């Protein structure tokens, strides 16, 4: 066994580090450090910077404009981006639809949509979940009926992340109402400017706005917007969900979160000494750090396996379960370390107004609440356990 990166991988890491040091603007790292929501402009600016270097579509093959990285290189890139406090890449066009089109799309679809994802012409969102179909996707009800050269779509999608910025949405729709649950579903691309689409914001637990409900009333799209075969959308959905789960251990973000907990606990005083010197609190941090240390290796083991076998396996579900739990624990510790200083609603008490508590912690409690989502989205952790039960325990 050899846990170290190869010389090539280390050289690659240095290259990424140097690039980030030179090209990642300070206003972006400041915004990421502060922990609030990022604006569309900031995200698009970052996408454009990466695209100029050919590092935006990290999981696309070379012939479609990806960098052609190995799983390990992709992991190194993500870890370095986290370390540098770069904005997170919005995954819907790049990491979800892109691989779907590359695998299932027609040549025309690939030629039309892929370059527009890269250059930022189209911002995509995901139309999977419905009010009655979350992790249980197969019960979705949104209908697409064939009428001549068009699909006519009726129904409702929900939890559509950043859909308020989107130009296009990729949807799972029921195209054969008589077929069994997983049969009769198709994968269809819809222009958000089509008449009959209504986007309603959902205000989240921490007061933020990142998800939406989307209503479809007699929305007509060309038949050519179908990806892959009619009624075979389930295959695409499963393919996409496995892709969604890679990198979902969020190791880089947890490393960031651990640093933040320690930094807060060093600056916060309790009983006349820094909180980090309190054995009870330090023990909680240490326990989380040990779990994270193990997760770093678990993550590398899975990457190594993926690299050897070519595709991520059901182990990604274990990563998702444990990675999200560790990250949530760290966010919880950060919030608790602040104590009453975490109380103000973001924006109510700020520098220039009045500030208390350590700096960079204004959004801390909000982040804790927002982050409860990670064990729910991408297939809830309970659904991941069902997957592992079937695939690994064979029960």
Give residues in contact with other proteins (CB under 8 A).
1-6, 9, 72, 262, 265-266, 273-274, 276-277, 279, 282-283, 285-287, 289-291, 293-298, 300-301, 303-305, 315, 318, 321-322, 382, 385-386, 388-389, 392-393, 395
**Are 20 and 84 spatial neighbours (Cβ–Cβ below 8 Å)?**
yes
Per annotation, catalytic residue among 130, 244, 260, 329: 244
> 348 vs 390, which CB is nearer to other proteins?
390
Measured from the Cβ of residue 134, the count of other Cβ atoms closer than 10 Å reads 18
User: Quick one: 36 exposed, middle or buried, by C-beta within 10 A (0-12, 13-18, 19+)?
Assistant: middle
Report, in Å, the least distance between residue 118 CB and other proteins.
Answer: 30
> 21 vs 280, which CB is nearer to other proteins?
280
**Are 128 and 115 spatial neighbours (Cβ–Cβ below 8 Å)?**
no
> 279 vs 352, which CB is nearer to other proteins?
279
244 annotated active-site: yes
Name the residue among 173, 161, 175, 247 with its Cα closest to residue 212: 161
Report, in Å, the least distance between residue 45 CB and other proteins.
Answer: 34
**Are 317 and 311 spatial neighbours (Cβ–Cβ below 8 Å)?**
no
Report, in Å, the least distance between residue 71 CB and other proteins.
Answer: 10
**Are 127 and 214 spatial neighbours (Cβ–Cβ below 8 Å)?**
yes
Name the residue among 71, 54, 104, 3 with its Cα closest to residue 308: 71
> 113 vs 281, which CB is nearer to other proteins?
281
> 83 vs 385, which CB is nearer to other proteins?
385
Report, in Å, the least distance between residue 303 CB and other proteins.
Answer: 8
Report, in Å, the least distance between residue 386 CB and other proteins.
Answer: 7
Torsion sign across C-alpha atoms 70, 60, 13, 287: negative
Q: What angle do CA 43, 60, 164 make, to 5 degrees?
A: 30
In this structure, the chain runs to a length of: 395
Catalytic residue numbers read 244
């Amino acid at each position: 066994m050899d846990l170290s990166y190869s010389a090539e991988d280390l050289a690659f890491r240095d290259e990424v580090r140097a690039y980030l040091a030179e090209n990642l603007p300070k206003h972006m790292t400041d915004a990421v450090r502060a922990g609030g929501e990022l604006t569309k402009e900031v995200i698009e600016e970052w996408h454009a910077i990466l695209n100029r270097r050919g590092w935006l579509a990290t999981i696309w093959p070379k012939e479609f404009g990806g960098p052609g990285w190995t799983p390990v290189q992709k992991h190194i890139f993500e870890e370095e981006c986290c370390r540098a406090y770069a904005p997170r890449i919005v995954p819907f066009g790049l990491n979800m639809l892109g691989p779907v089109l590359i695998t299932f799309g027609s040549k025309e679809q690939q030629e039309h949509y892929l370059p527009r994802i890269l250059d930022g012409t189209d911002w995509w969102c995901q139309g999977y979940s419905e009010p009655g179909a979350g992790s249980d996707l197969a019960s979705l009800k949104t209908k697409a009926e064939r009428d001549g050269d068009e699909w006519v779509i009726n129904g409702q999608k929900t939890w559509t992340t950043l859909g308020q910025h989107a130009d296009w949405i990729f949807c799972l729709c029921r195209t054969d109402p008589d077929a069994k649950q997983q049969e009769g579903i198709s994968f269809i691309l819809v222009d958000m400017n089509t008449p009959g689409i209504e986007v309603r914001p959902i205000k989240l637990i921490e007061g933020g706005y990142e998800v939406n409900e989307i209503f479809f009333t007699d929305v007509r799209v060309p038949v050519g917007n179908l990806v892959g075969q009619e009624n075979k959308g389930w295959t695409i959905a499963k393919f996409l969900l496995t892709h969604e789960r890679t990198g979902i251990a969020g190791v880089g973000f947890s490393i960031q979160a651990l640093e933040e907990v320690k930094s807060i606990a060093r600056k916060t005083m309790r009983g006349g000494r820094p909180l980090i010197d309190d054995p009870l609190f330090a023990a909680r941090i240490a326990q989380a750090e040990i779990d994270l240390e193990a997760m770093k290796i678990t993550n590398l083991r899975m990457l190594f396996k993926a690299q050897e076998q070519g595709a991520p396996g059901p182990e990604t579900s274990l990563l998702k379960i444990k990675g999200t739990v560790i990250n949530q624990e760290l966010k919880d510790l950060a919030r608790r370390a602040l104590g009453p200083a975490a109380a103000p609603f973001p924006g109510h008490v700020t520098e220039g107004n009045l500030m208390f508590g350590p700096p960079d912690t204004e959004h801390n409690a909000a982040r804790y609440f927002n982050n409860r989502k990670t064990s729910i989205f991408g297939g809830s952790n309970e659904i991941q356990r069902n997957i592992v039960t079937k695939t690994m325990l064979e029960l």
